[in-house]
Amino acid sequence: MLSVDKLNVAYGQSQVINALSLDVAPGEIVAIMGRNGMGKTTLMKSLIGIIPSQSGSVKIGNALLEGLESYQRVANGLAYVPQGRMIFPALTVRENIETGLTVTGQKEVPALIYELFPVLLEMKDRRGGNLSGGQQQQLAIARALASNPKVLLLDEPTEGIQPSIIKEMARTLRRIRDEMGLSIVVSEQVLSFALDMADRVLVIEKGEFVHESPRAGIDEKKVSAFLSV
Ligand SMILES: Nc1ncnc2c1ncn2[C@@H]1O[C@H](COP(=O)(O)OP(=O)(O)OP(=O)(O)O)[C@@H](O)[C@H]1O
Protein backbone atom coordinates (compact mmCIF):
# COMPACT_ATOMS: atom_id res chain seq x y z
CA MET A 1 0.00 0.00 0.00
CA LEU A 2 2.86 2.36 0.93
CA SER A 3 6.18 1.76 -0.78
CA VAL A 4 9.25 3.78 -0.10
CA ASP A 5 12.27 3.05 -2.25
CA LYS A 6 15.82 4.26 -1.54
CA LEU A 7 14.67 7.52 0.01
CA ASN A 8 17.39 10.08 0.78
CA VAL A 9 16.73 13.18 2.87
CA ALA A 10 19.32 15.76 3.97
CA TYR A 11 19.42 19.08 5.75
CA GLY A 12 22.11 20.90 3.74
CA GLN A 13 25.21 18.68 3.88
CA SER A 14 23.79 16.60 6.71
CA GLN A 15 22.34 13.33 5.40
CA VAL A 16 19.58 12.20 7.78
CA ILE A 17 17.69 9.48 5.84
CA ASN A 18 19.97 7.10 3.95
CA ALA A 19 18.63 5.11 1.00
CA LEU A 20 15.75 3.92 3.15
CA SER A 21 13.23 1.44 1.75
CA LEU A 22 9.96 0.33 3.33
CA ASP A 23 6.93 -1.59 2.14
CA VAL A 24 3.74 -1.54 4.17
CA ALA A 25 0.98 -3.99 3.24
CA PRO A 26 -2.72 -3.04 3.15
CA GLY A 27 -4.06 -3.19 6.71
CA GLU A 28 -0.60 -3.60 8.23
CA ILE A 29 0.58 -1.69 11.31
CA VAL A 30 4.31 -0.95 11.32
CA ALA A 31 6.20 0.65 14.22
CA ILE A 32 9.45 2.47 13.50
CA MET A 33 11.45 2.63 16.69
CA GLY A 34 14.59 4.60 17.39
CA ARG A 35 16.30 6.87 19.87
CA ASN A 36 16.09 10.67 19.71
CA GLY A 37 17.71 12.13 16.63
CA MET A 38 17.76 8.92 14.56
CA GLY A 39 15.57 10.37 11.83
CA LYS A 40 12.00 9.32 12.65
CA THR A 41 10.49 12.79 12.40
CA THR A 42 12.51 13.63 9.30
CA LEU A 43 11.21 10.45 7.63
CA MET A 44 7.60 11.27 8.52
CA LYS A 45 7.89 14.89 7.34
CA SER A 46 9.47 13.80 4.12
CA LEU A 47 6.74 11.21 3.44
CA ILE A 48 3.99 13.80 3.91
CA GLY A 49 5.91 16.36 1.83
CA ILE A 50 6.80 18.95 4.46
CA ILE A 51 10.50 18.56 3.71
CA PRO A 52 11.86 17.59 0.30
CA SER A 53 13.77 14.41 -0.44
CA GLN A 54 16.96 14.38 -2.51
CA SER A 55 16.15 11.12 -4.27
CA GLY A 56 14.11 7.95 -4.03
CA SER A 57 10.44 7.26 -4.52
CA VAL A 58 7.32 7.14 -2.37
CA LYS A 59 4.14 5.49 -3.65
CA ILE A 60 0.65 4.84 -2.37
CA GLY A 61 -0.66 1.97 -4.43
CA ASN A 62 0.42 2.99 -7.92
CA ALA A 63 0.37 6.76 -7.27
CA LEU A 64 3.81 8.37 -7.14
CA LEU A 65 4.02 11.08 -4.49
CA GLU A 66 7.38 12.71 -5.20
CA GLY A 67 7.19 16.34 -6.09
CA LEU A 68 3.63 16.59 -4.78
CA GLU A 69 2.61 19.12 -2.15
CA SER A 70 1.33 17.83 1.19
CA TYR A 71 -2.33 18.48 0.32
CA GLN A 72 -1.92 16.47 -2.88
CA ARG A 73 -0.37 13.61 -0.91
CA VAL A 74 -3.38 13.75 1.43
CA ALA A 75 -5.69 13.61 -1.60
CA ASN A 76 -3.79 10.47 -2.68
CA GLY A 77 -4.57 8.78 0.64
CA LEU A 78 -1.81 9.73 3.06
CA ALA A 79 -2.63 11.30 6.44
CA TYR A 80 -0.30 12.58 9.13
CA VAL A 81 -0.48 13.12 12.88
CA PRO A 82 2.55 15.29 13.72
CA GLN A 83 4.70 15.04 16.82
CA GLY A 84 3.27 17.44 19.38
CA ARG A 85 -0.19 17.02 17.79
CA MET A 86 -0.40 20.57 16.39
CA ILE A 87 -4.13 20.92 16.72
CA PHE A 88 -5.61 24.39 16.22
CA PRO A 89 -6.08 25.66 19.81
CA ALA A 90 -8.51 28.49 18.95
CA LEU A 91 -10.82 26.33 16.81
CA THR A 92 -13.47 24.09 18.34
CA VAL A 93 -13.08 20.33 18.34
CA ARG A 94 -15.60 20.05 15.49
CA GLU A 95 -13.83 22.74 13.45
CA ASN A 96 -10.48 21.03 14.01
CA ILE A 97 -11.85 17.77 12.61
CA GLU A 98 -13.54 19.60 9.73
CA THR A 99 -10.18 20.96 8.55
CA GLY A 100 -9.42 17.33 7.65
CA LEU A 101 -12.54 17.03 5.46
CA THR A 102 -11.36 19.44 2.78
CA VAL A 103 -10.02 16.79 0.40
CA THR A 104 -13.09 14.56 0.65
CA GLY A 105 -15.64 17.22 -0.24
CA GLN A 106 -17.78 16.03 2.70
CA LYS A 107 -19.32 18.70 4.91
CA GLU A 108 -20.14 16.66 8.00
CA VAL A 109 -17.77 14.80 10.30
CA PRO A 110 -18.39 11.06 9.61
CA ALA A 111 -20.22 9.35 12.49
CA LEU A 112 -17.51 6.67 12.73
CA ILE A 113 -15.01 9.30 13.93
CA TYR A 114 -17.18 10.26 16.90
CA GLU A 115 -17.88 6.56 17.50
CA LEU A 116 -14.13 5.92 17.74
CA PHE A 117 -13.59 8.97 19.98
CA PRO A 118 -16.79 9.55 22.01
CA VAL A 119 -15.03 12.17 24.14
CA LEU A 120 -14.69 14.36 21.03
CA LEU A 121 -18.46 14.26 20.48
CA GLU A 122 -18.98 15.30 24.09
CA MET A 123 -16.54 18.16 23.65
CA LYS A 124 -17.27 19.10 20.07
CA ASP A 125 -18.01 22.76 20.83
CA ARG A 126 -15.00 23.31 23.13
CA ARG A 127 -11.83 24.95 21.94
CA GLY A 128 -9.10 22.45 21.05
CA GLY A 129 -6.64 24.30 23.27
CA ASN A 130 -8.74 23.49 26.35
CA LEU A 131 -8.49 19.71 25.90
CA SER A 132 -6.06 17.51 27.86
CA GLY A 133 -2.97 16.14 26.11
CA GLY A 134 -4.60 12.74 25.59
CA GLN A 135 -7.78 14.32 24.21
CA GLN A 136 -5.73 16.53 21.87
CA GLN A 137 -3.97 13.42 20.59
CA GLN A 138 -7.37 11.85 19.86
CA LEU A 139 -8.37 15.06 18.10
CA ALA A 140 -5.23 15.04 15.96
CA ILE A 141 -5.94 11.42 14.96
CA ALA A 142 -9.61 12.23 14.26
CA ARG A 143 -8.59 15.18 12.05
CA ALA A 144 -6.22 12.92 10.10
CA LEU A 145 -8.94 10.27 9.67
CA ALA A 146 -11.40 12.85 8.34
CA SER A 147 -9.52 12.78 5.01
CA ASN A 148 -10.42 9.06 4.74
CA PRO A 149 -6.80 7.93 4.29
CA LYS A 150 -5.35 4.66 3.04
CA VAL A 151 -2.20 5.14 5.11
CA LEU A 152 -2.02 6.91 8.47
CA LEU A 153 1.35 8.23 9.68
CA LEU A 154 1.77 9.01 13.39
CA ASP A 155 4.91 10.62 14.78
CA GLU A 156 5.56 9.63 18.42
CA PRO A 157 1.89 9.68 19.45
CA THR A 158 2.65 8.62 23.05
CA GLU A 159 4.89 11.60 23.79
CA GLY A 160 3.62 13.35 26.93
CA ILE A 161 0.66 10.96 27.31
CA GLN A 162 0.05 9.03 30.54
CA PRO A 163 0.44 5.21 30.55
CA SER A 164 -3.24 4.28 30.99
CA ILE A 165 -4.17 6.46 27.99
CA ILE A 166 -1.31 4.96 25.96
CA LYS A 167 -2.83 1.47 26.40
CA GLU A 168 -6.20 2.78 25.23
CA MET A 169 -4.59 4.52 22.25
CA ALA A 170 -3.01 1.23 21.10
CA ARG A 171 -6.43 -0.46 21.25
CA THR A 172 -8.09 2.40 19.39
CA LEU A 173 -5.49 2.40 16.62
CA ARG A 174 -5.97 -1.33 16.08
CA ARG A 175 -9.72 -0.78 15.98
CA ILE A 176 -9.23 1.99 13.40
CA ARG A 177 -7.16 -0.39 11.29
CA ASP A 178 -9.79 -3.13 11.60
CA GLU A 179 -12.81 -0.90 10.88
CA MET A 180 -11.34 1.42 8.26
CA GLY A 181 -8.98 -1.13 6.70
CA LEU A 182 -6.10 1.32 6.46
CA SER A 183 -2.37 0.83 7.00
CA ILE A 184 -0.62 2.57 9.89
CA VAL A 185 3.01 3.64 10.26
CA VAL A 186 3.91 4.88 13.71
CA SER A 187 7.24 6.21 14.96
CA GLU A 188 7.84 5.42 18.62
CA GLN A 189 10.26 5.15 21.49
CA VAL A 190 7.90 3.28 23.85
CA LEU A 191 8.41 -0.43 23.17
CA SER A 192 5.37 -1.65 25.15
CA PHE A 193 3.11 0.55 22.98
CA ALA A 194 4.71 -0.71 19.78
CA LEU A 195 4.24 -4.31 20.97
CA ASP A 196 0.60 -3.60 21.86
CA MET A 197 -0.30 -2.31 18.43
CA ALA A 198 2.18 -3.15 15.68
CA ASP A 199 2.28 -6.19 13.43
CA ARG A 200 5.92 -5.47 12.61
CA VAL A 201 8.67 -3.50 14.32
CA LEU A 202 11.60 -1.80 12.58
CA VAL A 203 14.50 -0.08 14.31
CA ILE A 204 16.01 3.02 12.72
CA GLU A 205 19.53 4.28 13.45
CA LYS A 206 21.13 7.19 11.64
CA GLY A 207 18.48 7.10 8.95
CA GLU A 208 18.77 3.38 8.17
CA PHE A 209 16.82 0.35 9.31
CA VAL A 210 19.13 -1.84 11.38
CA HIS A 211 16.65 -4.41 12.70
CA GLU A 212 13.27 -5.77 11.66
CA SER A 213 10.94 -8.30 13.27
CA PRO A 214 7.30 -9.35 13.20
CA ARG A 215 5.75 -8.72 16.60
CA ALA A 216 5.21 -12.43 17.13
CA GLY A 217 8.54 -13.82 18.27
CA ILE A 218 10.22 -10.43 18.61
CA ASP A 219 13.46 -10.35 20.64
CA GLU A 220 12.44 -7.62 23.11
CA LYS A 221 15.87 -7.49 24.74
CA LYS A 222 17.54 -6.84 21.44
CA VAL A 223 15.09 -4.08 20.49
CA SER A 224 15.42 -2.50 23.97
CA ALA A 225 19.19 -2.52 23.57
CA PHE A 226 18.82 -0.46 20.36
CA LEU A 227 16.61 2.01 22.20
CA SER A 228 18.81 2.52 25.26
CA VAL A 229 21.69 4.94 24.94
N1 LIG B 1 15.70 21.48 10.45
C2 LIG B 1 16.82 20.79 10.66
N3 LIG B 1 18.01 21.23 10.21
C4 LIG B 1 19.13 20.52 10.40
N5 LIG B 1 19.19 19.33 11.03
C6 LIG B 1 18.04 18.83 11.50
C7 LIG B 1 16.80 19.51 11.33
N8 LIG B 1 15.81 18.77 11.90
C9 LIG B 1 16.42 17.66 12.41
N10 LIG B 1 17.75 17.71 12.16
C11 LIG B 1 18.73 16.66 12.53
O12 LIG B 1 18.35 15.47 11.86
C13 LIG B 1 18.58 14.33 12.71
C14 LIG B 1 17.30 13.53 12.83
O15 LIG B 1 16.32 14.30 13.52
P16 LIG B 1 14.82 13.81 13.69
O17 LIG B 1 14.06 14.90 14.35
O18 LIG B 1 14.33 13.30 12.41
O19 LIG B 1 15.01 12.58 14.70
P20 LIG B 1 13.94 11.77 15.53
O21 LIG B 1 14.37 10.36 15.43
O22 LIG B 1 12.59 12.12 15.12
O23 LIG B 1 14.20 12.31 16.99
P24 LIG B 1 13.13 12.68 18.14
O25 LIG B 1 12.75 11.39 18.73
O26 LIG B 1 13.98 13.52 19.05
O27 LIG B 1 12.01 13.44 17.50
C28 LIG B 1 19.11 14.88 14.03
O29 LIG B 1 20.50 14.77 14.01
C30 LIG B 1 18.67 16.31 14.00
O31 LIG B 1 19.57 17.12 14.72
Residues of the chain with pLDDT under 50: none
Tell me how far apart the alpha carbons of residues 54 and 17 are, in angstroms, rounded to a whole number. 10
Q: How far is the CA of 43 from the centre of ligand 1 (A)?
A: 9
Q: How far is the CA of 48 from the centre of ligand 1 (A)?
A: 16
Q: How far is the CA of 206 from the centre of ligand 1 (A)?
A: 10
Q: What is the pLDDT of residue 107?
A: 82
Q: What is the pLDDT of residue 160?
A: 86
Express each pLDDT in 57-96 by its tens digit. 999 999 999 989 999 999 999 999 999 889 999 999 999 9
Q: Taking CB atoms and a 6 Å cutoff, what residues make up the pocket around ligand 1?
A: 11, 14, 16, 34, 36-42, 83
Helix, strand, coil percentages in the chain from 3-state DSSP, rounded to 5: 35, 30, 35
Nearest CA to ligand 1 atom 6: 11
Q: How far is the CA of 40 from the centre of ligand 1 (A)?
A: 8
Q: Are 38 and 28 in contact (CB under 8 A)?
A: no
Handedness of CA 92, 98, 102, 108 (dihedral sign): negative
Nearest CA to ligand 1 atom 30: 37
Q: What is the pLDDT of residue 102?
A: 81
For 2-227, CATH number out of 1.10.3720.10, 3.40.50.300, 3.90.226.10, 2.60.40.150 equals 3.40.50.300
Q: What is the pLDDT of residue 170?
A: 95
Q: Whole-structure pTM over 0.80, yes or no?
A: yes
